[in-house]
Amino acid sequence: MNAELVSELEVPRHRTARARLVSALGPLTALAGVIWAIVQPYRITLLHPHGEGFWWLFVEPPLLVIAVGLFFYFAILPGLLKDLEAHAASR
Amino acid sequence: MQPPAEHVHWLFGTGFLVLGLCLLAEVVVGTEVWRMRTWRAYLWPGLAFAIGLLLWPVMVFFTNSTLHMLAHGAWAEVLMFAGAVELALVRGKLRSSWWQLAITAAFLVSGTAFLVHEQNAWFFQRSSFLHHLMGWTLVGAAVFPFARCLRPRSQTAAAGFAVTFLVLAVFLYCDRDVAPIFGHISTLAGPPHR
């Protein structure tokens, strides 16, 4: 086995401050949504439905904030980190 | 099936939150990295255009007053124009940074639209307060796109521009059809929602 490759594999991947900062955006947003849901549980109609119509059940702000955070983390971030690494490697 | 006005504001707030996060991510990683994938490059201009487009149904279906309709119509037009200009800038069809004045105008017209179509005082009830607050926020935040005309690479201007959308998202999520604001609610506003 090539020792050089092994050492490359074992070295922890160095994440730049930029990568760490952009990685935190999604979780922080989702956390804000969770805190909001705990502080104002009555804004989540699904917890206690009493004959509300479609819109009251579909649009629940704290859940939307959590969803946005998760969407950013799982849909946008991975490609962005790859491009950030590729850009850093090319410099 | 028409959503209550507060739900429309919350949905727009969600769109603004996605937009704000993406713009902030662009500031963090840099425009060069952000635009390495085409769909990301077109995200902001496309969403600006789409928000303008979505303001038309708001104008058509929420006919509270003539002023409300005119404000939303003007707002829709200027946002679509700004979105189209931003699309052309990303595509390379337009090159001068002075075209950023289109988004400056969009901020100013959007802020004015908020202020003009809110006919009640700040503490009439919560949505009145938020309309005034969002209006003045947008008018004030127009300084960021204007700064990007003068200094296209300014990180401060780009960060301010991104944070404006996050702040607007928070304001939009705070909206209610009828609710008190800091303990104030006019007797003319009607019974508050939960």
Across the interface, whether the CB atoms of A68 and B21 are under 8 A apart is answered: yes
Report yes or no on B194 lying in a domain: no
Which residues are registered as beta bridge partners of B181? B184
Looking at the 3D structure of chain A, how many domains does it have? 1
Q: Going residue by residue through chain B, which has 194 residues, state the pLDDT in tens, using 9 for 90 and above.
A: 777 778 888 888 998 999 899 999 999 999 999 999 999 999 889 988 998 898 888 888 877 778 778 888 888 898 899 999 999 998 889 888 899 899 899 899 889 888 887 788 788 788 888 889 999 999 999 999 999 889 988 999 999 999 999 999 999 998 877 777 777 777 776 776 65
Is B7 in contact with A55 (CB distance < 8 Å)? yes
C-alpha–C-alpha distance, residues B71 and B51, integer Å: 15
- Nearest Cα of chain B lies from the Cα of A7 at a distance, in angstroms, of 28
Domain that includes residue B96, residue range: 5-189
- List B184's β-bridge partners, or say none: B181
Determine, for residues A72 and B25 on separate chains, whether the beta-carbon distance falls below 8 Å: yes
Within an 8 Å CB–CB cutoff, is residue A52 touching chain B?
A: no
Query: Residue A90 burial (CB < 10 Å; 0-12/13-18/19+)?
Result: exposed
How would residue A49 be classed by pLDDT, with cut points 50, 70 and 90? confident
Question: Are the Cβ atoms of B36 and A83 closer than 8 angstroms?
Answer: yes
Q: Which of B29, B37, B175 to mutate to test the interface with A (most CBs of A within 10 A)?
A: B29
Domain with residue B162: its CATH number is 1.25.40
Can you give the pTM of this predicted structure? 0.85
Residue B152 is predicted with a pLDDT of 86
What tokens were used for B157?
Answer: 């201007």
Residue A7 predicted with pLDDT over 80: no
Give A2's pLDDT tier (boundaries 50, 70, 90): low
Number of domains observed in the structure of chain B? 1
- Domain range spanning residue A46? 16-90
Q: Touching check for A26 and chain B: CB below 8 Å?
A: yes
**Helices marked H in B30-154:** 31-34, 38-41, 43-61, 66-91, 101-117, 126-141, 143-150
| Distance from the B20 Cα atom to the nearest Cα atom in chain A, whole angstroms | 11
pLDDT reported for residue A11? 46
Per the domain annotation, does A10 fall within a domain? no
Mapping DSSP to helix (H, G, I), strand (E, B) and coil, where does residue B84 land?
helix
Return the sign of the alpha-carbon dihedral for residues A68, B106, B157, B160: negative
Q: Indicate whether A2 belongs to any domain.
A: no
A22–chain B Cβ distance below 8 A for any pair: yes
* pLDDT for position A5: 56
Put simply, whether A34 touches B (Cβ < 8 Å) is no
CA distance B177 to chain A (A): 13
| Interchain contact, B21 vs A22, CB within 8 Å | no
pLDDT band at A22 (very low <50, low <70, confident <90, very high): very high
CA distance A4 to chain B (A): 29
pLDDT digits (tens, 9 = 90+) for A29-41: 999 999 999 998 8
User: Which of B7, B24, B36 shows the shortest C-beta gap to A55?
Assistant: B7
Q: Which of A40, A80, A87 should we substitute to test contact with B (largest number of B Cβ atoms within 10 Å)?
A: A80
pLDDT category of residue A51 using cuts at 50, 70 and 90 = confident
The answer to whether residue A64 scores a pLDDT higher than 80 is yes
pLDDT at position A12 is: 47
Residue A65 binned pLDDT confidence (cut-offs 50, 70, 90): very high
Q: 3-state class of B181 per DSSP? A: strand
**Between A65 and A1, whose confidence is greater?**
A65
Task: Locate the chain A residue with the closest alpha carbon to B41.
Answer: A80
Cβ–Cβ gap B21/A29 under 8 Å:
yes
pLDDT at B144: 94
Q: What local confidence, expressed as pLDDT, does residue B115 receive?
A: 87
Residue B23, domain member (yes or no): yes
Residue A6 maps to a domain: no
Q: Inter-chain contact B22–A83, Cβ cutoff 8 Å?
A: no
What's the rounded mean pLDDT across residues A23-34?
A: 95
